[in-house]
Structure 1
């Protein structure tokens, strides 16, 4: 999870608010792309304890984002190959 998103969600939870995309975006201290905010909220909803974990360093976060993007590209490629094999 992006450190700024994790911090924003933690602040919302500590203030007794339920995190949402709009509230999280409003609490951010830096500009973060919307898909990253949504991914952070999804991770929090799946595992609320995630906000208590130590913040990832920026380089670790960049590596995670790159790996996530690579995984999505691989999934799309697999789907395209499957479609080509059927047709």
Structure 2
């Protein structure tokens, strides 16, 4: 999962608030795809201890985050190309 999302969830927990998708999204320091936010909040709700496990092992998540952002950029380029092809 994305460390930025878990940082936002941790901030909400520190304030005594229950993390929701909307609250988490409002606390993000940078843009994150909605599916990643939903997955992180769902993961937290299913296993509240997962936030503690993540905070202990953020290195593993950063690699996944890089791959995900790279995939997002590729998908955006593909969508743009497909839109251009459909116009012709």
The 5-angstrom pairing of residues 73-84 of structure 1 reads none
Alignment-derived partner of residue 10 in structure 1: 10
Superposition misfits of 4+ residues, deviation over 6 angstroms: none
Alpha-carbon distance, 1:51 to partner: 1.2
For normalisation by structure 2, the TM-score amounts to: 0.65
Alpha-carbon distance, 1:55 to partner: 4.8
Residue by residue over 1:11-33, the C-alpha shift from the partner in whole angstroms, topping out at 9 and shown as x without a partner, is 10110001111100010001000
Alpha-carbon distance, 1:59 to partner: 1.4
Alignment-derived partner of residue 56 in structure 1: 58
Alignment-derived partner of residue 82 in structure 1: none
For normalisation by structure 1, the TM-score amounts to: 0.65
Length, aligned pairs only: 65
Alpha-carbon distance, 1:10 to partner: 0.7
Could you tell me how far apart the structure 2 residues matched to 1:60 and 1:23 are?
A: 23
RMSD: 1.9
Alignment-derived partner of residue 38 in structure 1: 38
Q: Secondary structure at the match of 1:48?
A: coil
Alignment-derived partner of residue 21 in structure 1: 21
Structure 2: give runs of 5+ residues left out of the alignment. Answer: 69-88
